[in-house]
Every structure is written in C-alpha cells, then in structure tokens.
Structure 1
Amino acid sequence: MDPNAYSEFHAFTTPAIAALSFDAATSRHIPFRARTRHRHATWARTHFSRPELYLQPRSIPELRLIVDLARKLGKHVVVVGSGHSPSDLTCSASWMVNLDEFHGVVAEEPESRVITVQAGMRLRDLIVELEARRWAMPNLGSITDQSIAGAIATSTHGSSLKHGILSESVVALTIMLANGKVVECSRERNVDLFCAALVSLGAIGIVVHVAFRAVAEYKVRWEQEVVKLPRFLKSYDSVWDESEFVRCWWFPYSERTIVWHGKKVEEEIQSPPESWYGASFGRYTYEALLYLAIWFPSTMPYVERFVFKMQYGLEEGVKGSAVENSHQALTMDCLFSQFVNEWSIPLHKGPEAITRLEHWLNGRSELSGIPISSAGIFVHAPIEVRVTDSSTSSNPRAYLDQSIADGPTLYLNATLYRPFLRNIPEWRRYYEAFEYLMKDLGGKPHWAKNFVTPTADDVWSMYPDMEKWVRIREKCDPTGVFVGDWLKRCILDGQEAKRAVAEEKAGEGDGGFVVVGDDGQEI
C-alpha cells in the first residue's frame, strides 16, 4: 500500500478501521482516497449533508476496498455525481463515494457505435468523446452536468415520442455488488439484474462501466412559438407528432405556452436569438423580482407576465429559431436554484391535468377537483410539459421506469425557483395540491425530484415490478451497504417492502434470480 495513502487514512480514522484497511490492501498497494469534513450540497442547495468519509476512487480495486471496508464496518455507501437532483437522494451521514475521478473511456465498437465508459464520466464529457468520433447521443434531458451512471439511475428522459428514457440506449452495465465482486449485465446476460440496475437509484451496487449505444452525429433545426393556452389545448393531440423532438412550457399567469419543435437537418449552424433572461442583466433582474415577490406574494403574476413579455413578447407566433448541434439544441439553461416536482401521467390525460391545475391556480377549486385551498398561493412559471414513449421499444424495460408501460407518457414539471436561495411561501401546499392531481390521474413521481406526499406504500402501488426490484436489491446487497435514508423512507419502509425483504431473508420466493459471473458460475 502506498505509505502516503496509508498515513493519510490512518490520521483521520480509528486504529480498528486503519487496521482493516491495511490488512485488505497491503498486498495490492491500493490507495484509499478519502477525506473528512466534506460538506455535500445538491446543485440547487436544497439539501446538505456531512458524510463521515468522502471518497474519490480512481480504479476498481479502490472501489472494492471501499465496499469491503463498508461491509465489514457496517457503513452505508451513497454514490454521488453532480448532485443535480434537488431531493435528498444523494445525502448521507455515512460514506459518500464520488466517481468524478473515474471517468475514462474503456472500449469502443465503431461498427455499432457502442462506447464503454467509466461510470463517473459526466454527460458533457461523454458528448465530447462522441463528437471526436462523429457520434452523438440519440436524445438528452435538459442538462449535461450529471454523470452517466447518475442520469440512468434516476430515469432521466428527454422529450420525444420517438424515444424513451435515456437508459434505453444502454447496452450493458458492469456493477460492483456489496460482496465486492464485479459482474456484467446486459440484454442477454443477467437480464433481471440489468432491468433492476437500469434505474437502480444507486441501491443495487456501484455501476463501474456503462456501454452506451450512440448514433451518427446530427444537427437540429428548432423553432419556438408563442401559443395561447386554449389553442394549445385544442391542438394538443397533434402537437407531439409534428417533429422528432417537442417540448412545451406553460406560463399560467400569461395564459400562454411556448411550443418548441426540433427536427434533424443537414444545414449550416445558425445561432439562436438572444435570450433576455439568458443574459446576466435579465437573469439577475428576474431573480431579484422573484425575491421581492416573496415578501409581496400578490405581485407574482405581474412579475411573471413582465418577464414573459421581455423574453418572448405577448403576440402569438414564432419567436426564434436556430440550427445547432444536437446537444446544444436539446439542452437548456436551468437559470438558478429551484425545487422541481415532476410526474408522469398518460399522455392523453394532459388536457385534463392542465385545465384542472389552471382552475386551481385561479381560485376555482370547485372546477379543479383538488380539495386543497389555493388561497395565498402564487407560483412560478413555467410548468414544463415533456413526452416520451417506451411502450413500443423492444429493449428490456427497467423495473422502475416511471414512464407509462402501455402508451406514450406526459411529464408535468412544476418548477419553483429559490431566488437567492430563499424558499417562496406555501411551496409545500402547492406541491401537495399538484401531487393530489397527479395521483388522481394515475401519475408517478420522478425519482430524482422534490415529491413531498407519496409514502413508501403509495410508491409500491404505482410500480407492479417493485417487489421484483426489491428482491433483486436484497439478493445483491443483503447487509444493506447501499441503503440510505432516502431509500428507506421512499421505498423500503413500505409494508410490502418489509414483507418482500423478510421473505428474501427467509429464502423464499426469489423467483429464480441468480447472478452469473464471467466464469459462468453463480455469484
């Protein structure tokens, strides 16, 4: 073991932990890259935690050392990338593993455009690697700050009925289980594990390699149009099929939507129009106005209407177009700190969802069917509207894919900004009302977002494959190395989860699930 690494480790741990580390690593010279006093924060500064150890390994042997020690010492391990999720999913008081130093290219198959990368690689860096090969990602979410493992673990998606969630492009995963063994799973090998790990919530094991299928590089011509809400609802059924990529933003107080269409083209790059709040002056003006509205909530509609007018104008029609490389066209500026509460519902229920929420925000509770008062609630715009469709895919479906299994999916995203890191009044009551509506329409919350009312039992009722996922998780991690507080609260504290775990520990009903290693033997 590297003497410097050992002395650094020994300096801030107990003799017992140091002895375990030395015994596990002395013959392999494996460094243990850990530090104390790390303060973890989500990107939006919505949650904080102080892990006992913050570890940044650079190799599989280093990861194995961490997992072996955690298992022997009864520690929990939470893996974190950018922390872009605004929930406490990545928070931990135990051990936190960050894979930012584990970010290289492992292999590539030019004929099939499959690239295998270490799981800590950020999407933005993956895009650079793909561009060097004249490849691209087939679809993207709103940002590229996440690690590739973090993006697929939380069911990240873009907005297109031609595509499902991001993990549909994953060909294979290599995972380190709680026993320290590394296994590969794919569409042909360890298929049950693959379906569980495609949306793993970081609870199956540590994903170390991701094999991702890219497409040939492409450019997107996009345009955005101001459409009044009644016209948008009237054309709702056809708007999603007009282009490969479509997303919309509804601005309640302006009674308008922005409809964004993008299609693949072979044209010269054309720069996008200037954005009012994309520039520093507009951005800080918007944030300052939202901050003032915290103290004078009734001014919020006026602020939002002013900002919409400055950004887009009030007249209907096309308000900007561009031709950009795919990753530039499909991503967006998230501005500043925010709560994000996003749910999936069947696509055909969109007009009902928007109409009922519009009634509620305007004080017409009797028409909204939401039994929660909207008095004194003034929210931020926009409410984002996106779509996917995994129902026709031939790929194995992730057990915890929150999209609709038997048809196209609509995602409604109720964003609430936190101007200068300040929460707006009554944000929780707004989310309670929003979630009541989503549950009433058969919705599911996005795993990485700020849902507030669903219990573990609620979540179990939404996922028919949840029991299978929990049984696989228990088999892969019987001592709970990868069980954090969020996972216990949101899934494992449910009565059905407790029963499934108890049966698994009793050796009952594992459904024949096995994990096979490279030698063909069960692990």
Structure 2
Amino acid sequence: MKTVQGRPWRNWARTCESNPEKTWYPSSVEEVVAIVKEASKQKKTIRVVGAGHSFTSLVKTEEWLVSLDSLSGIEQIDEQNSTVTVLGGTRLFQLGEALGHAGYAQENLGDINVQSIAGAISTGTHGTGLMFGTLATQVLELTLVTASGEILTVSEKQNSRYFKACLVSLGSLGIIVKVKLKIIKGLVYEYRSEKVIYSEFEPQLERYMKENRHFEFYLFPYSDIVQVKTMNITERKPQSLLLHRLNLLILENYLFFILSELCRAFPKSCRSISRLSAKAVGSTKIAANSYKLFATPRLVKFREIEYCIPLQHFKSALQEVRQRIEDQQYQVHFPIECRTVKEDDIWLSPAYERNSAYIAFHMYKGMPYEDYFRDMESIMRKYEGRPHWGKMHNLEKDELQALYPKLPDFLSIRQELDPQGIFLNDYLESILIG
C-alpha cells in the first residue's frame, strides 16, 4: 500500500492546509481495515480526503490522512434493479461517464463533478430541482469501516438504525468504502440559458420552479439582470458540446479570471464589472446527455458560503440580499447562485424535513470577504438557514443543535461507533461536540 510521510496537504480553494504525519492511499477495503486497526493500536486519529473541495477544515489533520483516490471504480451495474455499486473514492465525473456509456445516469448532480462519491454524500452535496433531494438521497446502501475495523453495511433493511445518520456524516462515523446508488435510464436534456430582468423574473419564480425538471439562476450584484438556467427532457438528438464547453471555458473561466484580477487590483471596479458580466450572458439552447450538462468547469479560485433556507422564504431573502448589497456597497462581482432541493429525512441534511432554497455567495480569492459573508450569513440565519457542511460558515454547536433536531441522535450513534474519537479533528469537535 502506498504511503507518504510528512507531505503537506491543502484543499482546492486554498482555505485550509495541514501537515499530516502520514498519508495513506489504500486500494482495497482490506487495506482500509488495516489502516483503521493500526490507527486504533497507535492511538492516531484519521481524516479522509476525496477531492478536497470542501472550504472548511473538515479534512485538516496533523496525524493520519487517508486518500480514497486509489479506491475507485464501479463494481457492478444491476440493470434489473436499476442500481450501481461504486467504490468510495470514485469521482463523480468518472461515474457519470461510465454510467453514460452503459445507458444510465444519476438522477441529479451538482454543478461541480470532481468530488468523490463518498465526499459528496458525506457533506450534503446537492444539485437543483424540486423533484430531487441531495445526492445522499440516491443512496440505497453504504459500506463503511468503523473505528473498530468492522466492515459495516447499512441500508433501510440492514443495520437500519444507522442509515439516516451515515448518509450525511462529515466523515465522523467511519470510512465509506462502497456505495450502492439508485440510477435511471440515460436521458437527453435540453439545456437553456437566458437573461431576464429581475422585475420580470421574480413574479415568475414559482412557475420556473414548478415547470422545470432542473432550474437554477444567478443574481449579479448591482445589476437587474438574472441568468436563468433550465434543463428538461427532450426528444432531440444529443449535440456536440465542443463549442459550448469552449465558450464556458473562455467566458466563465479565462475571461472571468482577468476580470476578477481587475477587481482584486481595483476593488471599486466591482460594480461595473458585475454589470458587464451580467450583460455578457448570452442565450444558449443545446441538447445533450444529462450527465454532460450538469457540471461546468470551475478554474477561478474563490471563497464561498452557502445556506439552505425553507422554500417559502426564497423571495424575501433574495430581496433582502439585493438591497443589503446596494446599501453596504460591498465590493463583490461574483454572481449569487440560487438553487432548489426537495426535502428529505436525512438527519444532518440541510434539507431535512423542508423543501429548500440554496443561496450561495462567493468572493474572489485574495479579496476581503469577511464582512460580506458575515452580513449575508445574518440574512440567511434570519430565515432559518442551515449552512452547507462543505462551505464556510460561523455557526457553533449550540446554533447547529437548534437547526438540526436529530443532531443529539447523530452524536449518540457517533459515540457508539467511534467512542475513542478516531474520526474526529479539532474542527469537528468544535462544531459537533463543543
């Protein structure tokens, strides 16, 4: 088994870094078991990393880091029952391509697809569309290695009392080595992007949410233009995405990087650059296989907070956000991403027992973000907002306990499965245990 001593680690966004004593790269479930047993023997703690796309200190450790990069691939596609069994380190784009070639797809995905399946599930990663829950709602069965080195399989039927805790667990219950997901037949979607004036958009928000399978939109600070994106099933034949992807790469990455650097050097230009970006939004209509359309490349580094609020507060929160940015004159040019998610019954899911709107705020790397994020966070908290576990936030244990009624039950199971705290770090101790 590959191991590396003393290699520094940092996440994608460069918001977190650490110097683990040892990094392990297991390629089998048996090797994961051996690592956990040795950690228990040596009284070491373990954190697990997938793609490092969380903005928080979830993975940070000075002891043992376990990478799942070598524990990857599809084990089985069960066509009769429409399921796929996949190893925990498999990246979402790898899974999408493999399923697509076999004529299948996941029912929903987020707008980034480089995460590992285990990491995406564990942090409550989501896509958009009121018909669909977070990615964790696609899970039928999980296999994890617990602190004792036991291989534990959990589902609605097997070890069921652990199931709703394990689906979004922040890596604190064990190492997810295998996942069984429900899948659907591959679909062709028509993707549309258009710009709409906010005063015309807001009265139609409910219609957009109800009439589109997948729907999201972007608010541009200091602009009345909204970019609306929808995806719906079509009978059209799939088209080549070469030009579409090239356009995204040039406009939303290379050109946006240049504009972002201008904002960093000249912060007062943020207002005009945000308006320019909004005006540059074009009309797009293209048909392709679903898994090819969900995600877009994200090469420009940023900081991000994202909150999940009850759907009924969506309009009020948006109005307040837009007004607060104008009133405080925040120097921000990144658009605000807005999506919707169906309620679920997963204990630590931000969408637990409520249809939800997700609102995400970004700031370009190297630009001051603290005041802007704190102010936006205050609005989200006013509307009962729960933070995305993989994004930056300032909530502490008592506040999280008030937002998550099943948190005490989760902590009870956490104590049962990991009484010595092998899978904890300082960050998790602070937000979960206090």
Q: TM-score, normalised by structure 2?
A: 0.96
Question: Which residue of the partner structure matches residue 331 of structure 1?
Answer: 295
Give how far 1:149 is off. 0.5
Deviations 1:331-354 (A, max 9, x none): 122231111110000112111111
Question: Which residue of the partner structure matches residue 149 of structure 2?
Answer: 180
- Within the candidate set 19, 43, 47, 2:12 is matched to 43
Give how far 1:277 is off. 6.6
In 2, the alpha carbon distance for the partners of 1:282 and 1:462 equals: 35
In 2, the alpha carbon distance for the partners of 1:275 and 1:230 equals: 30
Give how far 1:267 is off. 1.6
Three-state SS of the structure 2 residue aligned to 1:240 is helix
Question: Which residue of the partner structure matches residue 416 of structure 1?
Answer: 363
Q: How does 1:96-495 map to 2 (within 5 A)?
A: 96-271=65-240, 274=244, 278-280=248-250, 283-312=253-282, 319-363=283-327, 374=328, 377-391=330-344, 397-406=345-354, 408-418=355-365, 423-425=366-368, 427-451=369-393, 453-493=394-434
Deviations 1:33-68 (A, max 9, x none): 311131212112222111110000111221111111
In 2, the alpha carbon distance for the partners of 1:84 and 1:466 equals: 24
Give how far 1:275 is off. 7.3
Give how far 1:281 is off. 7.4
In 2, the alpha carbon distance for the partners of 1:296 and 1:128 equals: 42
Three-state SS of the structure 2 residue aligned to 1:252 is coil
Asked whether the 8 Å contact 2:221–2:275 carries over to 1, the reply is no
In 1, the alpha carbon distance for the partners of 2:134 and 2:431 equals: 21
- Within the candidate set 48, 55, 60, 1:86 is matched to 55
In 1, the alpha carbon distance for the partners of 2:53 and 2:359 equals: 19
Larger radius of gyration: 1
Taking a change above 3 Å as real, the CA distance of residues 246 and 185 of structure 1, as seen in their structure-2 partners, is: same
Deviations 1:76-127 (A, max 9, x none): 1000011011222122111000011111333332201211111111111112
Amino acid at match of 2:98: E
Taking a change above 3 Å as real, the CA distance of residues 342 and 87 of structure 1, as seen in their structure-2 partners, is: same
Amino acid at match of 1:338: F
Asked whether the 8 Å contact 1:388–1:403 carries over to 2, the reply is yes
In 1, the alpha carbon distance for the partners of 2:270 and 2:185 equals: 45
Give how far 1:274 is off. 4.9
Deviations 1:482-507 (A, max 9, x none): 001221122111xxxxxxxxxxxxxx
Gaps of 5+ in 1: 1-30, 313-318, 364-373, 392-396, 494-523
Three-state SS of the structure 2 residue aligned to 1:362 is helix
Amino acid at match of 2:371: R
Amino acid at match of 1:122: R
Q: How many residues align?
A: 433
Asked whether the 8 Å contact 2:126–2:134 carries over to 1, the reply is yes
Asked whether the 8 Å contact 2:226–2:278 carries over to 1, the reply is no
Question: Which residue of the partner structure matches residue 370 of structure 1?
Answer: none
Three-state SS of the structure 2 residue aligned to 1:262 is strand
In 2, the alpha carbon distance for the partners of 1:114 and 1:436 equals: 41
Give how far 1:470 is off. 0.4
Three-state SS of the structure 1 residue aligned to 2:222 is helix
Deviations 1:429-467 (A, max 9, x none): 11111111111111100000011x211211111100000
The two structures, once aligned, show a CA RMSD in angstroms of: 1.7
In 1, the alpha carbon distance for the partners of 2:249 and 2:75 equals: 39
In 2, the alpha carbon distance for the partners of 1:80 and 1:168 equals: 21
Three-state SS of the structure 1 residue aligned to 2:51 is coil
Give how far 1:211 is off. 0.7
Tell which has more relative contact order, 1 or 2 (C-alpha 8 A, sep 6+): 2
Taking a change above 3 Å as real, the CA distance of residues 490 and 380 of structure 1, as seen in their structure-2 partners, is: farther
Q: Which moved more, 1:380-389 or 1:228-237?
A: 228-237
Three-state SS of the structure 2 residue aligned to 1:254 is coil
Asked whether the 8 Å contact 2:274–2:335 carries over to 1, the reply is no
Three-state SS of the structure 1 residue aligned to 2:40 is helix
Q: How does 1:494-505 map to 2 (within 5 A)?
A: none
